[in-house]
Structure formats: structure tokens, C-alpha cells
């Protein structure tokens, strides 16, 4: 005779491990997602202080409760025209582990959509072609409601080693 205490537990642990949560957002009419574990908070766009001689993808810095946080223009990072702030534009604050401590960066997006649970079985590898962004920035393509969400590798997107250096002023070039 089997009692409720002897019945096998439902198989929820493997299912939970096979599903990840992503914050989804719009940028230039496309849907993107980043792993929710990298997201620290979402704030309203505003008060970005420009910093001279920065690459075009660095919009400036913000004061986040006394901390200076760089702000990345994701559209410019992807080789598009810089983002034009609108009513729903916001800054997603992401935090990644780095050798010298946590790296906190703000990322400008057109609008935050939702947090989605995407099963690992519904994530396809990044395509070799067909996207307008650098392939290293894409962790995969999440299949959601008959469409795709471009899942970003935030660590790769935030690496600025390959960002073009600002052009030297004409006065210094002569």
C-alpha cells in the first residue's frame, strides 16, 4: 500500500533546471532578452551625463545612488543609429562578475516587455547570418509564441575592447 508520503515527488526539479528566465525588451523594433540573473534593476531614462572622447556606444554616465555607472547605447553598440529616447525608453542596470569586482553598467533599451520563462529546448543556436548584430553578442534564439527573441550574451556585449576609438581631433592630427 502506497501512502502520500511514500509517493514519488513530482519531477519539477529537472523541469526548473531546463528553463531560464529572461528580461525581454524592444530595441529598433526587434525583441531581445538577457538572463534575469544579470539584471539588477530597471530605471527611467534621464540625467545621462556625456563624457568626452568616449566610443559612440557609450552614451555617458549616471549617478545611481552615489555610484558612477556607465551607460551603453545598445543600438549604437549594434552598429545602428543612436537610440532616440521616447516615452518608454529606460535603462536596464546589469551587473556582471569581473576580476576586480562586480561590473555595473546601464543599457539603454526602447522599452522593457516582460520576464519570460524560456525552456532550454526552445532555444536555438545563434544563426551564422541573418542578424544585424555581431554573432558573438548572441547567446541563442528563444522561440516564443511563434516568433524569436534574440538572447544576448551580456558579457560579450559589454566588452568594449573591440569598440572603435574616438577619432582624433583635427587639431591634434596635424
Task: Look at residue 38 and give its three-state secondary structure.
Answer: helix
CATH number at 76 reads 2.40.50.180
Distances (CA, A) of 28 to 67, 104, 132: 29, 24, 11
Residue 94 lies in domain? 20-158
* Residue 64 placed within a domain: yes
Of 10 and 102, the structure prediction assigns the larger pLDDT to 102
Residue 107 bridge partners (DSSP): 72, 92
Start-to-end Cα distance in the chain: 91
The per-residue pLDDT for range 76-135, each reduced to its tens digit, is 998 888 889 999 999 999 999 888 889 999 999 999 999 999 999 999 998 776 556 677
Neighbours of 38 (CB within 10 A): 20
Query: Residue 17: which H helix or E strand, with range?
Result: helix 13-17
Number of independent structural domains in the chain: 1
Amino acid at each position: 500500500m502506497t501512502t502520500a508520503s511514500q509517493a514519488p515527488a513530482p519531477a519539477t526539479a529537472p523541469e526548473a533546471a531546463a528553463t531560464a528566465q529572461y528580461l525581454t525588451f524592444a530595441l529598433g523594433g526587434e525583441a531581445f532578452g538577457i538572463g534575469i540573473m544579470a539584471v539588477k534593476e530597471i530605471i527611467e531614462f534621464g540625467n545621462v551625463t556625456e563624457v568626452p572622447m568616449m566610443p559612440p556606444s557609450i552614451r555617458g554616465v549616471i549617478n545611481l545612488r552615489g555610484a558612477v555607472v556607465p551607460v551603453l547605447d545598445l543600438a549604437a553598440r549594434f552598429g545602428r543609429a543612436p537610440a532616440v529616447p521616447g516615452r518608454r525608453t529606460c535603462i536596464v542596470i546589469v551587473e556582471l562578475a569581473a576580476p576586480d569586482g562586480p561590473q555595473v553598467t546601464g543599457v539603454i533599451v526602447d522599452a522593457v516587455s516582460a520576464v519570460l520563462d524560456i525552456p532550454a529546448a526552445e532555444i536555438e543556436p545563434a544563426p551564422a547570418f541573418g542578424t544585424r548584430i555581431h554573432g558573438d553578442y548572441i547567446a541563442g534564439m528563444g522561440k516564443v509564441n511563434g516568433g524569436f527573441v534574440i538572447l544576448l550574451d551580456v558579457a560579450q556585449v559589454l566588452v568594449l575592447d573591440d569598440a572603435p576609438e574616438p577619432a582624433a581631433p583635427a587639431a591634434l592630427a596635424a
